[in-house]
Amino acid sequence: MTNPSYRVLLYYQYVNIEDPEEYATVHLDFCKSLDLKGRILVSAEGINGTVSGSVEQTQAYINMMHADPRFASMPIKIDEASEHAFKKMHVRHKPELVNLSLEDDINPLEITGNYLNPKEFFEQLNQPETVVIDARNDYEYELGHFEGAVKPDINSFRELPDWIRKNKEQFKDKKILTYCTGGVRCEKFSGWLMEEGFEDVSQLHGGIVTYGKDPEVKGQLWNGKCYVFDERISVPINQVEHKIVGQDHFTNEPCERYVNCGNPECNKQILCSEENEHFYMRGCTHNCRVHSRNRYIKEHNLLEEEVNERLKKINEKHRISQG
């Protein structure tokens, strides 16, 4: 990118924060004073955030954070961008930075998996005794993942412990590697795995984003793109070879374009080409297509006759494809 005018910052730090609600309020005011946009979570256990702004604005934010003794050594990942990655600025207080819904929460300051830098993680990926577990949600995995990584059948992070318990036998006596976008989820997940009795647990320090920026590894053994929680939706990781692993929701053709289902009560994220978005009226199922609040229909001011005609074409296409 030539002369980028914006940057996107991604960071987290597990550290004790007294009066996190007050800190969140003050922090929001500071971010707004810099005209930053983004989403930051603050809890008694630390901070987890991503913000966008001009080079000058983001540098002022970095300087402020590193001037605070609690965050002086906090790694901050930087992506260049041509515009803001967020529409608004939010700083919210939460009980936890990431939600595993455990009766006894994990404190990463007390227990967490071994840290592996990108080169160490790369070297471990193809070891025969290693199992690589993706700690993200299913829709994140579908857009991109490490070669050979296990995809937990989960829709949210808090479902991960139950899934591991149900599938514990396949991971027994194995060396476990785990990874997530920036590292914050793996801090807790790897610690929980150790509490569950898994003895050899390691995590990708700094997450996928750091792995993709490493000058030696260059994102190798990553296929697809990395899902990110901002307006960019995804970022490239593998600097050597790009393989598309995502599949169009409707045709299973290679696809890396995410849209939200037009039915606001569903709102499921689906990989979908622009052509298929229009053909299927952005509805992931028939019921979503005909839903009274389908946003695609409203956005395009489609009349009932037009909707019925499109539904007829969809039915014809499926009848032909099914023989």
What is the C-alpha separation between 94 and 97, in angstroms, rounded?
7
Known catalytic residue at 284: no
Contact by Cβ (8 Å): 277, 249: no
What is the C-alpha separation between 192 and 105, in angstroms, rounded?
9
Active-site hit among 31, 180, 186, 272: 180
Contact by Cβ (8 Å): 17, 47: yes
Q: What share of the chain is helix, strand, coil (3-state, %, to 5)?
A: 35, 25, 45
Give me the DSSP letters along 205-216: TTHHHHHHH-TT
What is the C-alpha separation between 81 and 159, in angstroms, rounded?
33
What is the C-alpha separation between 75 and 209, in angstroms, rounded?
12
List residues bridging with 144 in a β-sheet: 224
What is the C-alpha separation between 227 and 86, in angstroms, rounded?
15
Catalytic residues: 180
